Chain A
Amino acid sequence: MTSDATGSGMTRRSFLRASTVLSAGVAAIAAGLAPLRKIGQFSSVDEFLQKYYKELTPEEMKAVLARIEDEVQRQYGIRPHVRDYRPMNGVEFVYALNLTRCVGCRMCVHACVAENNQSRNPEIQYIRVLKMPNDGTFDVDKGDHNYAPKSVPQAGSFYMPVQCHQCKNPPCVKVCPVKATWQEADGITVIDYNWCIGCRYCEAACPYYARRFNFTDPSIPPDQLNLNMSYLGNRPRRKGVMEKCHFCIQRTRAGRYPSCVEVCPTGSRKFGNILDPDSEVSYILTNKRVLVLKAELGTLPRFFYYFDI
């Protein structure tokens, strides 16, 4: 191999050698990106460019809802009804849970899964029931999450279901870098699934293990799809975004009880408008001894545990 006298030209051999390595490298990169072919329907342009929920005009919202209905129809073969339920005036939701009556049957967990179109494989459950020893402790480290006896309740234990408490001072809202989660006027902390970037900072911030992340595309059997959907609530999510209990927005903002309240066989779950003095939750907060979990954190939950007397 000879080089130029001035040293500034490329000899053929060195050029060939350099370009061989480079082209092999480029081929490796191109082949390395091959898995991206499997993405399938990743994101339409409209979804990618969709504005923030609070900035959408009513017309834009209608178009978004229609687009979501199209997407669901394409994926599941059946067209749902997606609405943007707004908070009602003069309403602040509060949840009360009777620890004397809860027997730990977990029907609330699965009713929620069915109502809110949660993924079955892998299974996302918003509600987590803890079996606590009845020895004077509320320390959640003593709780058992995986109890599976033949019959509940078991002696010597009480059962404490935990879900999103829709805190008045929510740590999850404070930490979201893009404000994809916020608290609405009726107290429900909601998530805009089309705005969330999936950083999971809110999941780290929540003291009650209430938030869930879609580690993969959710899978829902089409015959189990709940077609009554809300934009901020139970419309099917995609992988890479957060979700959590939203007090069944599609039910509660139409005046009905959440499905966990309705299915509870022992009547441990109570729900209503705290601003209404005649509601059962007003009665409970006035007449029962209520407590909240981890009160020392100052989250001010809207979820109260109480005992019967």
Chain B
Amino acid sequence: MRSYLKFLRRCAGVSLAGDWRYYAWIGGLAALCVIGLNAYAKQFAAGLEITGMSDQVSWGVYIANFTFLVGMAAAAVMLVIPVYIYKNEDLHDLVIFGELLAVAAILMCLAFVTVDLGRPDRFWHLIPVIGVFHFPGSMLSWDVLVLNGYLVLNIYICGYLLYCRYQNRKPAKWFYIPFVFTAIFWAISIHTVTAFLYVGLGGRPFWNSSIVGPRFLASAFTAGPAFVILALQVVRRASASAAGSPGAPPESNAAAPQRLMHRAATAADLELLAVCLPELESVPQEERRACLAGATVLDVAAGDVLLRQGSKDNDAFFVLKGRVVVRREEGGRFRTTRNIGPGEQFGEVSALAGTPRAATATAAEPTRVLRLPQESLRSLMRNPKMNEIITWRMGERLMISDRSLLILRAIVQVSMIINVFLLANEIFTEFYNSNVQDVSWRYLVLGLHGHHALVPWFWTAATLNIGAMVVLMLPLSRRLTGLNVACVMCIFGIWIEKGMGLVIPGFIPTPLGEMVEYVPSLNETLVCAGIWAFGLLCFTIFLRMSVPILQGELSRANET
């Protein structure tokens, strides 16, 4: 327990540490939060008349943003499915980022619902037993359950995986795999339940259609991964080392590995390794001695390069003492991928796969490493426990490679195609027959009875969505610039479509045919901005805490 508290304290400490850009970002978001808080205080005192809502349009931007964000939270599952069901290793640790995004999004959802309530102090009426919880009759009660459950589920999964990584311990399967699979189904359910909030209203023909649920999911699974693509690039860039020129890794000596001091490995070295790599105990003594053949031990000073990105040697290394930093150069910037401590390995991917080195390993302090030729590594891995620990460690590295971004791109591409297709279905159904049944669609797309406030929004969203779909289908989007433009188009297009195109038109015209339009007030907009700032603040802090843990920089090994 004490160690857990210490872990939390260190996480809190690291979230307050950063460079001036970080402080500017966090400070700006905090200022926006405070502005939003003040705007909400005004609303709490004056009542909801201070918003643009009315009896005719009784839900506005608060619920529109809520709907969009539930979709984002559900889309975190898109990252989980490929990893755990299709065993796609490229996305492995990116799953944690997706789930952290889900947590931040759910917190925003809860905030949006709270500011929309007329009597938020009466929230306790929702709690079963002490209040009255209308379950399973009311879809809103379903939504309360699934959203809070999803929040707890994701906090647990992320917290557990991060803590295990912090302790450099392999997470126990039964403590997280069942929850992950639950989270997959749960994520689909949160957005389906939110869709059913609308679909279940027979008095609103604009919503009372079975296509609304699939549209919700398709748009969610477009916007969510698009946001993750952008967020991952920010993480990648922010975790790059920004020291000096964007050229060589800092403080590295130019010495080639061959010229470092080395000697043959002895049994004593293996004993030392066994101390920090307990799995080695399971290997029988004869095999261990067999590994010694060809194995060398290197003692290096801080700054010595042990292996270089791109070179073709293929030995595997184990750290016996000290620390090694692994950096990868991508696009002119260097990015630390891992910190390696005693007992951990590096270079084993090239050893096993024969591929060129993917990164450069430099000693961070005076270090002793054990270098094994590929044959020795292979024979060690014939032992099941060793195989397990080495394979697991191979997977547990923070490599936000372009390849993982391209997998996410594929998800966004397919989802957007489905989204546009479903929209086309709606347009045909509503407009082919001129026996006007759904006046809300007419209002949204063409304007009705002189009212046309939403028409430009609809066409903007449609243009953005179709444009994004086209860009995603072209090879143009395989490059990062094109991909980023497409993602931004996706996010804005879906946000407008969900908000102005799905929530607001359901109220115009009213069930009695009255046309009253809706414009959010300034106060309402400030509250929304404040909540968005709060969510981004949470997400930033989550990333600020989790990236060092995943990189190995923040771990139990370097507790002071």
Contacts and interface: CB of A to CB of B under 8 A. Distances in A.
Do A and B touch, yes or no (CB under 8 Å, in the complex)? yes
Interface of A: 6, 8, 18, 21, 25, 28-29, 31-36, 38-39, 43, 48, 52, 122, 128, 130, 139-143, 145, 162, 171, 174-180, 195-201, 203-209, 211-217, 239-242, 294, 297-299
A286 B157 CA distance: 65
Contacts of B258: none
A39 B44 contact: yes
B121 A176 contact: no
Given A32-B34, A140-B511, A206 B118 contact: no
A215 B55 CA distance: 9
Contacts of B259: none
Contact of B46 (A198, A205, A216, A299): A216
A198 B62 CA distance: 14
B201 interface: yes
Contacts of B44: 35-36, 39
Contact of B38 (A35, A215, A216): A35
* Residue of A32, A241, A297 with most chain B CB atoms under a 10 A cut-off: A32
Contacts of B178: none
6 contacts: A32-B38, A178-B126, A179-B134, A197-B118, A203-B55, A297-B203
B201 A204 contact: yes
Given A199-B117, A209-B510, A25 B30 contact: yes
A179 B116 CA distance: 18
Q: Which interface class (under 10, 10 to 19, 20 to 34, 35 or more) fits B?
A: 35 or more
Contacts, number: 184
Contacts of A198: 48, 117-119, 122
Contact of A241 (B119, B138, B203, B513): B119
Interface string B482-512: 0000000000000000000000001101111
Nearest to A34: B41
Given A177-B141, A179-B134, A201-B138, A294 B126 contact: no
* Residue of A18, A175, A206, A216 with most chain B CB atoms under a 10 A cut-off: A175
Interface string B183-205: 00000000000000100111110
Given A122-B49, A145-B512, A145-B514, A175 B140 contact: yes
B524 to A, nearest CB: 12
A142 B449 CA distance: 11
Given A35-B41, A177-B138, A140 B513 contact: yes
B147 to A, nearest CB: 12
A179 B137 CA distance: 10
Contacts of A177: 126, 133-134, 138, 140-141, 144
Contact of A214 (B47, B113, B134): B47
B445 interface: no
A208 B134 contact: no
Given A21-B27, A32-B34, A239-B47, 16 more contacts: A35-B38, A35-B45, A39-B44, A43-B121, A48-B122, A140-B512, A175-B139, A177-B126, A177-B144, A198-B117, A198-B122, A204-B59, A207-B203, A209-B514, A216-B48, A241-B119
A36 B45 contact: yes
B49 A174 contact: no
Contact of A178 (B133, B512, B514): B133
A39 B119 CA distance: 13
A179 B132 contact: yes
Contacts of B55: 203, 209, 211-213, 215
B125 A195 contact: yes
Contact of A52 (B27, B41, B132): B132
Nearest to B204: A204
Contacts of A175: 137-140, 200-201
B411 interface: no
A142 B49 contact: no
B439 interface: yes
Contacts of B121: 43, 48
A66 B25 CA distance: 54
Nearest to A160: B512
Given A33-B37, A177-B126, A177-B133, A217 B47 contact: yes
Contacts of A36: 41, 44-45
A126 B49 CA distance: 18
B131 interface: yes
B170 interface: no
Interface in B197-216: 197, 200-204
A196 B118 contact: yes
Interface string B52-67: 0111101100000000
Contact of B513 (A34, A143, A213, A298): A143
* Residue of A39, A195, A215, A298 with most chain B CB atoms under a 10 A cut-off: A215
Contacts of B439: 141
Contact of B37 (A29, A38, A139): A29
A33 B133 CA distance: 31
A171 B201 contact: yes
Interface of B: 16, 27, 30-31, 34-35, 37-38, 41-42, 44-49, 53-56, 58-59, 113, 116-123, 125-126, 131-134, 137-141, 144, 197, 200-204, 439, 506-507, 509-514, 560
A213 B55 CA distance: 6
A292 to B, nearest CB: 14
Given A175-B140, A177-B141, A215-B53, A197 B123 contact: yes
Q: Which are the 5 A-B pairs with shortest beta-carbon distances? A: A198-B118, A207-B203, A240-B118, A32-B38, A216-B47
Nearest to A130: B512
A142 B513 contact: yes
B509 A141 contact: yes
Contacts of B131: 52, 178
Contact of A199 (B30, B35, B118, B201): B118
B123 A199 contact: no
B560 A38 contact: no
Contacts of B119: 196-198, 240-241
A299 B141 CA distance: 22
B513 A141 contact: yes
A8 to B, nearest CB: 6
Contacts of A48: 121-122
Given A21-B27, A29-B34, A240 B47 contact: yes
Contacts of B513: 130, 139-143, 145
Given A36-B44, A217-B47, A207 B58 contact: no
B68 to A, nearest CB: 18
Contact of B45 (A39, A196, A199): A39
A38 B45 contact: yes
Contact of A209 (B35, B144, B512): B512
B35 A32 contact: yes
A174 B113 CA distance: 20
A206 B119 CA distance: 20
A240 B510 CA distance: 21
Contacts of B120: 197
A16 B530 CA distance: 28
Given A176-B134, A178-B134, A239-B118, A215 B203 contact: no
Contacts of A178: 122, 125-126, 131-134
Contacts of B116: 199-200
* Residue of A18, A35, A36, A195 with most chain B CB atoms under a 10 A cut-off: A35
A88 to B, nearest CB: 26
A179 to B, nearest CB: 5
A195 B122 contact: yes
B522 to A, nearest CB: 14
B451 to A, nearest CB: 12
